[in-house]
Chains A and B, each alone.
Chain A
Amino acid sequence: MAKTALVVDDSTSMRQMVSMTLKGAGFQVIEGGNGQEGLDKLKGAPGSKVDLIITDLNMPIMDGLAFIRQVRAQSGSRFTPILMLTTESGDARKMEGKAAGATGWIVKPFHPDQILKVIDKVLPS
């Protein structure tokens, strides 16, 4: 069965690109335009569960860190791999992400192949 990924980013173009990459890798993709939409989509997914979450950090309404914390607070998503997209390569931001519950990070700008490599690490087939 195809794995499902949730992509959360306020930028439509970035969301499209990440989604296309994931679809190319055989994922079913659902999308949200900010953290709140991401949570709503997650609740709407079968069993309120997805196999992978990729989220931007800087978003209106609910930012990425708050979103990650909310996802981790839900019983079905405690161990779901969450990758965060960040423009800052500094450690401070990464540590914030780790504390919130992110599994890994990808620094923007990135190439689609990078996404696939990280996924390989966090979602061993």
Chain B
Amino acid sequence: MNLDMSQFHQTFFEEAKELLSDMESLLLRLEEDPTDLELLNTIFRCAHSIKGGSATFGFTDIAHFTHDLETLLDLVRNGKVIVDSVLTQLLLESQDQMKALLSAARGEITAAPDASGLTSRIQQSIAGVGSGPTIVPSVSEAASDDTWGVFGMPRRYSLRVAPGPDTLRQGADPLLLIERLAREAEILSVVCDTAGMPSLAEIDPEACFVAWDIELRTDLTEEQILDFFDFIADDSEIKLKVIEPAQELSVITTEAPPAFVLPNVTLAAQTRDATTPTKTNAVHQAEAQTLRVSADKVDKLINLVGELVINQSMLNEVVQDFSMMKLPRLLEAVAEMERASRELQEQVMSVRMLPIKHAFGRFPRLVRDLANAVGKKVELRTSGEDTELDKGVIEAIADPLTHLVRNSIDHGLESAQDRINAGKPEIGVISLHAVHEGGSIVIEISDDGKGLNRERILAKAIERGWVSENEMPTDETICNFIFQPGFSTAAQVTDLSGRGVGMDIVKQAVQALGGSITLSSIIGAGTTFRIRLPLTMAILEGLSLCVGDETYIVPLTNIVESIQPKSGDVRMVAGAGEVVMVRGEVLPIMRLHNVFNTPPRFKNPTDGLLVIVETDRRKVALLVDELIGQSQVVIKSLETNYRKIPGIAGATILGDGRVSLILDVPGLIHEGLGAVAA
């Protein structure tokens, strides 16, 4: 049989990834509670499943490594190896190694780091038990061992039971005996032989004239079968014949299976080869496109599509020979269709939704390792892990979150001694909290540390020339300086946070997702970062506005306010062009009709409206004719349908069928300001 094993690789990879992340959280729990046997069994099962799968699908590196680990885990769960911090560390490192091996097999990295040190530490732990030398059978040996077999081949018998005429009179019931036999052996067929039956006139109602021919399959011996009929044997005819020849009790085949030489199982080896990058990419892309969806969600979708189809036929029926009499029914059908399509949209969006625990999942381990590295005591608390958001957003937000958590441990929390001196509990707390708020998700990362050091931030800001020495910026302004590019106040650059990537990168990443980040910090009590993200990147909350005949959409996250300026507020400034004064702030005016070259209704800013937008702390006033309103729009990519245009983030289709462009505010400010200066 020619089965392409590579078709199962994807499933195996996903499964192994899940098992490994389960294993990690279980190991962290084991650290807390080293005596929990159920925990140990589950950890063992994770390793065991990964080993089984990797060996079957030809990933011998993973199988070999995991084999030793499994042996160790087996000793641990049998109480032969004590769970201590050294062991959990070893197990966690092993789990990392398996992760690396898996990535190597997927072609994500060229090769996993050398594991010989790790393997010998594992083998030492095994050897420490005194279970003899560490001659661990290799996987390939196991494969060539007795690979399959059958316990006691059942034999087929034909049995004739012809009870003597006096059997019934003696109180025996042959049927009962046959029924009893049927409980122990598989009856294939029973034929009742009535040839011996006399005519009705001659029949003796108390005598037995019938016989049975039975075919059965069982691993009972002949003697055991005959024993059933001991009771009636005297004047009866019981004949037993083996139809299929008896075989050895245990059939063992020892032929070596070609388990690892299948041509299509060599993918793992190929992808590790740097000369075949195309294959690697193909694997990678296929992976990025898969999405695990619960059958429940798919069922709901199918259900909704079914409703739509019914709706559509209802509409068809109403529209044929339409008369005003049918108007109420038409309206009803349209309303129904509207409901079904809205639900369908919600459901389809939910297909891409995953609980945020996928992003939070990495933190227990991260916090543990970081806390150990900097010698602080840290407790991680998470809540709202089941809050769902778009898979793409989860993937994109994981790194910024990691950076924030690192920062909190490194800079936010004090050392244990400092905390005690400050009258705080010794163990610092980092909390991750996710919650839905309207159309967005809010993620809060808080620590109960010392809060931001305003003096040092201000000193840095003055040093960098962001403020002058005699300025008195507000507390909020000072705190927000940490989002400035090139900001880093860490007195000494530690291993963790001080590596170039700063809070500005975090802010950019959040903004790229259409989100925003704010912070609040109380001296001595801690710092909280609040990230607000749209639930999905495919739908955008926007403000529609019009310029001449065109409708544009500005993402709501960029909008500060809309004003109708008084004539005195609009001025021309040399070098900056046209500006507007808003409560003492001077903002450049960008005439959208000039940017997009459309004839407007109003050329004078005092006739139209100014929409003030902001990005990267730079504000611009957009001159438009009119605001239409706020709405949710589905983003269609311009790049895939046309080509990339500076200042345009995408397009959407309006209710009346017209296309409307979605403004890319950061791009626009970048492009537009240049144009004004020129």
A residues within 8 Å of B by Cβ? Answer: 10-14, 16-17, 20-21, 24-25, 58-60, 78-79, 87, 89, 94, 97-98, 102-114, 116-118, 121-122
Contact = CB atoms under 8 A, between A and B. Distances in A.
Given A11-B52, A105-B148, A109-B55, 9 more contacts: A17-B56, A79-B217, A98-B151, A107-B142, A107-B145, A108-B55, A109-B52, A114-B148, A122-B150
A42 to B, nearest CB: 17
B56 A118 contact: no
18 contacts: A13-B12, A17-B5, A20-B7, A24-B1, A58-B49, A79-B186, A89-B146, A98-B151, A98-B152, A104-B148, A106-B148, A109-B52, A111-B257, A113-B257, A114-B147, A117-B253, A118-B150, A121-B251
Interface string B486-522: 0000000000000000000000000000000000000
Interface in B1-47: 1, 3, 5, 7-8, 11-12, 15, 42, 45
Nearest to A85: B52
B15 A11 contact: yes
Contacts of A114: 147-148, 257
Interface residues of B, number: 41
B52 A104 contact: no
Nearest to B55: A109
Nearest to B60: A109
B1 A87 contact: no
Contacts of B63: 109
Contacts of A103: 150-151
Contacts of B15: 11-13
Nearest to A86: B52
Given A13-B12, A110-B259, A60 B3 contact: no
A89 B142 contact: yes
Interface string B87-102: 0000000000000000
Interface in B131-183: 139, 142-143, 145-154, 183
B51 A87 contact: yes
Q: Tell me which of B5, B49, B253 has the highest count of chain A C-beta atoms within 10 A of its own C-beta.
A: B49
B183 to A, nearest CB: 8
Nearest to A108: B52
A26 to B, nearest CB: 11
A84 B153 CA distance: 15
B60 to A, nearest CB: 10
A92 B147 CA distance: 15
Interface of B: 1, 3, 5, 7-8, 11-12, 15, 42, 45, 48-49, 51-53, 55-57, 63, 139, 142-143, 145-154, 183, 186, 217, 251, 253, 257-259, 262
A121 B258 contact: no
A121 B143 contact: no
Contacts of A121: 150, 153, 251
Nearest to A106: B148
A89 B145 contact: yes
B511 to A, nearest CB: 38
A122 B253 CA distance: 14
Given A109-B52, A121-B153, A58 B257 contact: no
Contacts of B49: 10-11, 58
B147 to A, nearest CB: 5
B3 A102 contact: no
A17 B3 contact: yes
A113 B1 contact: yes
Nearest to B253: A117
Contacts of B42: 60
In order of increasing CB-CB distance, the 5 nearest A-B pairs are: A109-B55, A104-B150, A79-B186, A13-B12, A109-B56
Contacts of A79: 154, 186, 217
B150 to A, nearest CB: 4
A65 to B, nearest CB: 14
Contacts of B7: 20
A116 B142 contact: no
B186 A13 contact: no
B316 to A, nearest CB: 39
Contacts of B8: 13, 16-17, 20
Contacts of B251: 121
